[in-house]
């Protein structure tokens, strides 16, 4: 009997996805999915999915972000800006950037406003939030992850030598491919970037997949260790891969 797990990463208004059968790692698939539900309700019906999107949304945010955001930044160490502070729920659901900034400042302490980069990806957050509130049965299947947390752990909790964007992009992507291969993903799968999916989004979906494997096996680590929940009972946690042995 197949035991499918999957990883998802937001990609140009859709989702870069990667699936593998835990009982037969030679069975895998990488594809672009229009919606989160398209993967969850697809033929593989993965039981565990890691998704690079914030899930639990507090009504009020303090201390510079959700507990999960602060824990992930502490895990990555100083000088890492890849974990942005998720604004409070009202700001995420705002209909305009101006409204989101005002609502975020009103419901955060100290007050902060989301950047325009954050605002542009909040559509992915809204999709995941609406899906999990409408379908509580999916809450045990869909789990928040963060690719940089995953790659940091896969690299022995050391900072990667190069980023995945900018002038060192080629070296950064090669470093991430090597870490995914060392973690056991098939090289053909790592190379199988679907049409319409950017190289970094494909690798981030694969990193999310690896975390999903550890969640399914009971080995993943929650950040923070004590998991809070929002007003809709959604967990506020970022899952990291199991420590290297």
Tens of pLDDT, residue by residue over 174-215, are: 999 999 999 999 999 999 999 999 999 999 999 999 999 999
How many other β-carbons are positioned within 10 Å of the β-carbon of residue 212? 32
CA–CA separation, 124 and 204 (whole Å): 15
Which residues, in sequence order, are CB contacts of 231 under 8 Å at separation 6+?
A: 58, 59, 89
Return the pLDDT at 87: 95
Boundaries of every domain in the chain: 1-84+131-245
Structure confidence at residue 80 as a pLDDT band (50, 70, 90): low
Write the CATH number of the domain with boundaries 1-84+131-245.
3.30.420
Compute the mean pLDDT over every residue in the chain, rounded to the nearest whole number: 94
Could you read off the pLDDT of 134-159 as tens digits, one per residue?
999 999 999 999 999 999 999 999 99
Q: Tokens 């639990």 sit at which residue?
A: 56
Half-sphere exposure of 76 (CA within 13 A, CB side): 23
Return the pLDDT at 51: 98
Structure confidence at residue 133 as a pLDDT band (50, 70, 90): very high
According to DSSP, the residues that pair with 228 across neighbouring strands are 236
pTM: 0.95
CA–CA separation, 239 and 217 (whole Å): 13
**Average pLDDT for 16-21:** 98
CA distances from 190 to 50, 135, 181, 209, 217 (A): 17, 32, 8, 11, 22
Give the ranges where 60-96 is alpha helix by DSSP (H). Answer: 67-76, 89-92
Return the pLDDT at 245: 78
Return the pLDDT at 166: 75
């Amino acid at each position: 009997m197949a035991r499918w797990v999957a990883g998802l990463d937001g990609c140009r208004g859709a989702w870069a996805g990667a699936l593998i059968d835990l009982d037969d790692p030679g069975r895998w698939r990488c594809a672009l999915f229009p919606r989160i539900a398209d993967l969850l309700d697809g033929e593989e019906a993965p039981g565990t999915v890691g998704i690079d999107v914030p899930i639990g949304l507090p009504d009020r945010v303090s201390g510079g972000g959700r507990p999960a955001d602060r824990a992930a930044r502490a895990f990555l160490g100083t000088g890492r800006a890849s974990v942005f502070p998720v604004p409070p729920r009202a700001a995420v659901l705002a209909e305009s950037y101006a409204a989101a900034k005002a609502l975020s400042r009103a419901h955060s302490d100290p007050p902060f406003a989301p950047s325009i980069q954050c605002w542009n990806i909040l559509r992915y957050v809204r999709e995941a939030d609406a899906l999990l509130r409408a379908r509580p049965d999916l809450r045990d299947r869909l789990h928040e992850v963060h690719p940089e947390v995953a790659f940091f752990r896969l690299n022995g909790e050391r900072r990667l030598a190069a980023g995945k964007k900018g002038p060192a992009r080629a070296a950064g992507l090669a470093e991430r491919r090597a870490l995914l291969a060392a973690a056991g993903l098939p090289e053909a799968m790592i190379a199988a970037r679907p049409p319409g999916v950017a190289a970094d989004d494909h690798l981030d979906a694969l990193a999310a997949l690896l975390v999903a494997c550890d969640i399914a096996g009971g080995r993943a680590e929650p950040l923070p260790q004590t998991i809070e929940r929002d007003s809709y009972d959604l967990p506020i946690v970022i899952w990291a891969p199991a420590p290297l042995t």
